[in-house]
Chains A and B, each alone.
Chain A
């Protein structure tokens, strides 16, 4: 890494302010003025629109394996989604995912 301390603090400062402004944007500027019906419809899908696209590449090409497909991580991801869909409970899904991850890692280590 080739940055001076001032450059690093510039990155941190601008990122801090920029991130706050992004989070504040609509909530701070628009306030409680009514929003158009179609905008509200779009926003209902924010989490299911953003998170799957963020996670999918990490599941198929994990950084820890330098982008090589890893059956253990794929299995853990599938267990997380299956239990999440079935139980409608975030914690059970996390538990199932972590358990599958470590169990499958344990089994592959023994084999």
Chain B
């Protein structure tokens, strides 16, 4: 009795995460599949393509690495470009500290492996909307949110490798990722500070688009975060 009542909140948090994460298979599936198709087309073997999706498990950087490899860039530059694209996840990692920092090390390591855009964005909105969640509930929710998408990411990469070449360009799969990111971010613009941060992000990002892969993104993100924080401070001062 005691154990079941103690387990219930974390279990229901897991199911809530699973429910919220499930719809993302619709957008992640084509993305993983496209990676399978493009990587095979570029000359990687099945094992190598799967190696990318299982060990790296970060779509945008997988595509970035592939792009550099197709251009026969030096290994150092392939790695630099791909890892720069992933640097935003250091910010994800940092922003999870107030919510999950108290969890055991192995749990934090699991979250780190699965800390890609969708589970992170779902979880951080949930944590902020419900500050009363306990740490075990937060961990359970995160794992729940990652449960549907992760195996599917691997499976659809494989499907892309095997069946890929019959997919027509007419389906505009390239634009599924931008739509997904815009759909994730638009509902989060909930204050003047958020709007200012997003506006700076877009303008600086476009201005610096000529810089080497990922560099402009990092500068734009830093400037936008600073803008958001400063506007927030300014609004608070004005309200007093």
A interface, CB within 8 angstroms of B:
1-3, 5, 7-16, 18-20, 22-28, 30-33, 35, 38-64, 73, 76-77, 80-85, 87-91, 93-94, 97-98, 101-102, 105
Contact = CB atoms under 8 A, between A and B. Distances in A.
A51 B88 CA distance: 9
Across the A-B interface, give the 7 residue pairs with the lowest CB-CB distance, nearest first. A84-B186, A53-B205, A45-B228, A16-B55, A49-B224, A93-B183, A32-B101
Interface residues of B, number: 95
B225 A52 contact: no
A47 B91 CA distance: 9
A10 B82 CA distance: 13
A23 B52 contact: no
Interface of B: 23, 26-27, 42-45, 48, 51-52, 55-58, 60-61, 65, 69-70, 72, 75, 78-79, 82-83, 86-98, 100-102, 105, 108-109, 111-113, 115, 117, 121, 124, 169-170, 172, 174-189, 193-194, 197-198, 200-202, 204-206, 209, 216-217, 220-229, 232-233
| Interface SS majority for chain B | helix
A42 B175 CA distance: 30
Given A15-B61, A73-B172, A81-B182, 13 more contacts: A1-B72, A9-B48, A12-B48, A12-B52, A15-B55, A27-B101, A44-B232, A47-B121, A48-B189, A53-B201, A53-B202, A55-B181, A101-B175
Given A50-B88, A94-B179, A8 B48 contact: yes
A3 B69 contact: yes
Contacts of A51: 117, 181-182, 184-185, 201
B186 A93 contact: yes
A19 B59 CA distance: 11
A20 B72 CA distance: 25
